[in-house]
Structure 1
């Protein structure tokens, strides 16, 4: 069995190779290590290898880890669904939120972000595959939500996030990735702060990077199989 360090090195190399194959500049794609359900000791071990950006899906767990590891200077990204009653701790402890899809959530995050902290980096979650069970705004809703976020002083609009369809159909994946890249380009015309396209995971990172992803989310390939949560958050 490969060690945690070996798995991280392999994942990191995979991102670099995919970046090179796509004729993208070295360092233009960031690896987001998804550490949900994993112990603090694993995060400390990966951070010691040079990893800075970590993604979490559950609000309480994310905040607890950010507090315990505040001395390491890590960047914490929340990539899970956001409940209205969990916006305050996220606004207080996260550096990034990738899953903003409602005006109400954007306003709450802005109002609850402490004034002594830098504006919270946010991405708009887009339902690129238009699947009814998926979270995220439609393409038509990106513009209005972006305009609202841009007006909120404690938020910094950074880009778009998507979880594409779980399919082996490469043409369908390419279509969805291309759609996201096009939408990012449209946003960049109006918002100079926009520079992030958060899309792609272990199984589809190569086509995601080929089509313009700047941040790929890798969890199991680094940390191993996820541990089940004891109970869902309320």
Structure 2
């Protein structure tokens, strides 16, 4: 845990270098620290080192951490698969949901977001690699789904999210991120006010940033290897 501040600084340096290499401002992509399976104390250490946003995949684990860290001004992102029985807690307790892939889920999040709270930030998840095991809508469905989600009350459509399959060759590494950027461009050309591409992790954040990622989701390079 003592290495977390050092690791955070290294990841931030990678992000800034990748932005510079891509000809983008050094703050064009921000870091989301993926704290799943790590305890509340690890999150507290990361926050003390300057980290604000944290991503969680498992709802009950996240709710427990939120309770333990209620004294800190953290931004909570849910980045795991979204099931219907989770939507109320997500709508009530999170600032962002990255894995919206169906209109039914978006509608439930909208209906269950408490009145008086800021709109829930959502990203539509795209299955850019076409993997049967991965969540996400098909690329051909993105524009229609996003246009509908953007009209729902108490939600704010921010953009797109993807978890591409690992590339089998170095020349393929940027292809799924490029596809995501092109889909994002289609949304903008259609008049949707989107500003977020959530893509890239510890092993491929440079490729994602080169293709326009604005949020990179990094866990292992900050907190270390996860135990099974």
Retained in 2: the 8 A contact 1:66–1:94?
A: no
Counterpart residue number, 1:232: none
Secondary structure of 2:200's partner? strand
Counterpart in the other structure of 2:163: 163
Contact 1:101–1:126 (CA under 8 A) maintained in structure 2:
yes
The secondary structure found in structure 1 opposite 2:115 is coil
Alpha-carbon spacing, 1:75–1:193, altered in 2? closer, same or farther (3 Å)? farther
Render the CA deviation track for 1:47-102: whole Å, top value 9, x for unaligned.
11111110000111122222332332111110001111111011101000000001
Map Cα deviations across residues 14-37 of structure 1 (whole Å, 9 max, x no partner). 111111111111211011100001
1:224: which partner in 2?
224
Offset of residue 190 of structure 1? 3.3
Stretches of structure 1 that go unaligned for 5 or more consecutive residues are 229-234
What is the TM-score of this pair, normalised by structure 1? 0.93
Q: CA deviation at 1:192?
A: 4.8
Secondary structure of 2:28's counterpart equals coil
Q: CA deviation at 1:165?
A: 1.4
How far is the alpha carbon of 1:2 from its aligned partner?
Answer: 7.1
TM-score (norm: length of structure 2): 0.95
Structure 2 counterpart SS, 1:72: coil
1:191 and 1:56, CA in 2 relative to 1: closer, same or farther beyond 3 A?
farther
1:203 aligns to what?
A: 203
Show structure 1 runs of 4+ deviating over 4 A. none
Gap runs ≥5 in structure 2: none
Task: Give SS of 1:200's match.
Answer: coil
The answer as to whether partners of 2:110 and 2:154 remain within 8 angstroms in 1 is yes
Other-structure match for 2:118: 118
Instruction: State yes or no: 1:78 paired with 2:103.
Output: no
Once residues 12 and 181 of structure 1 are traced to their aligned partners in structure 2, the CA distance between those partners, rounded to angstroms, is 22
Pairwise CA RMSD: 1.5
- Within 2, Cα distance between the matches of 1:67 and 1:184? 35
- In the other structure, the counterpart of 1:90 is 90
Shift of 1:141: 0.9
- Is residue 164–residue 173 contact of structure 1 (8 Å, CA) maintained in 2? no
Matches within 5 A, 1:96-175: 96-175=96-175
Residue 19 (str. 1) matches residue 23 (str. 2):
no
